[in-house]
Amino acid sequence: MFSGGLSPCLRREAWKFLLGYLSWEGSAEEHKAHVRKKTDEYFRMKLQWKSVSPEQERRNSLLHGYRSLIERDVSRTDRSNKFYEGPENPGLSLLNDILLTYCMYHFDLGYVQGMSDLLSPILYVIQNEVDAFWCFCGFMELVHGNFEESQETMKRQLGQLLLLLRVLDPPLCDFLDSQDSGSLCFCFRWLLIWFKREFPFPDVLRLWEVLWTGLPGPNLHLLVACAILDMERDTLMLSGFGSNEILKHINELTMKLSVEDVLTRAEVLYRQLMACAELPHNVQEVLGLVPPAEPHSPSPPVSPLPLSPTRAPPAPPLPSDTAPQPDSSLEILPEEEEEEGTNS
């Protein structure tokens, strides 16, 4: 799966295992019993919000706020995708119901803008309300920190991305610093919803199932971001872009990237890091090679040694120190139509 992705006809079942809904070790009978249990649990949670009367909801500002935000986001999620297009598409109702039920499942987090982007491809592939909900919960286990109000998880990931880029390509980091773009905030959307809006819908399915394998280690999504920046390196540095032009150029990459080229480049960067004789400890932590240090333990300084070829004008080494998106619908497409829709 990591090397070649999955055949579309296998995704509906395989994603249930990749996202932890079904156990790799379980028998067919155990899976059936698990699905029955999870089906009951899902509809109990769904009944919690379905049974709230309009009068009650007027006194429940939190639920009312979630409902309004979900309705607004669902109405514009992946509407160009055949699975979600049309004014009365049943897939939109399913997106709405699953996201409201998730608010009952995870009271503390509730619904945050962007979650509909993560659910849409899952519902498109799974084509079952209950199974899609639990697969979505599995995905959210990986990324729920992205949606926390403190944004500490997003800040940490941007810091880790900068750490990797600093080792892989110090001159690029120097250039971004000189243009007030060294914080890499222009990568925020990439990490928040795992590149959902950067690639065509079929490529998002391929990318996500590769990332879900956990190979070759944790945080491959950060190396995917490094790969995109590496591929755009010359354009960014040789064009003399300022911060506004950098942001504009990154945004204009939407739907123009090849997922195969990006994944290949990300794996190459990983192998280059692994071949480094003295990989800094904090980089080893990001790659999952060593357990994370205790919060009070200082990490060794990052090596400034560039590992990727320098194709831009030489720079002094550092001291050590919205494009449209696809949609999912309840209606199960005939096999040939589904394949046609996937390739569009």
> pLDDT-derived band of residue 295, with 50, 70 and 90 as boundaries?
low
The phi-psi region of residue 7 (left if phi > 0; otherwise alpha if psi is between -120 and 50; otherwise beta) is: beta
What CATH code is assigned to 10-147? 1.10.8.270
Per-residue pLDDT at 168 exceeds 50:
yes
Q: What is the pLDDT of residues 70-114, one digit of tens each?
A: 999 999 999 999 999 988 899 999 999 999 999 999 999 999 999
CA 123 – CA 233 distance, rounded (Å): 36
Global pTM value:
0.84
Cis-peptide into 326, omega within 30 deg:
no
To the nearest whole percent, how much of the chain has pLDDT over 70? 85
Q: What is the mean pLDDT of residues 221-247?
A: 95
- The residue among 233 and 335 whose pLDDT is bigger is 233
Per-residue pLDDT at 59 exceeds 80:
yes
Q: What is the mean pLDDT of residues 169-176?
A: 96
State the DSSP string of 71-107. HHHHTTSSTTSTTT-STT-HHHHHHHHHHHHHHHH-T
CA 171 – CA 317 distance, rounded (Å): 7
Cα end-to-end distance, the chain, whole Å: 23
> pLDDT-derived band of residue 292, with 50, 70 and 90 as boundaries?
confident
Question: Architecture of 152-287 per CATH?
Answer: Orthogonal Bundle (1.10)
To the nearest whole percent, how much of the chain has pLDDT over 90? 83
Domain ranges of the chain: 10-147, 152-287
Q: What is the pLDDT of residues 297-315, one digit of tens each?
A: 444 444 344 444 333 333 3
State the DSSP string of 278-291. T--HHHHHHTTSSP
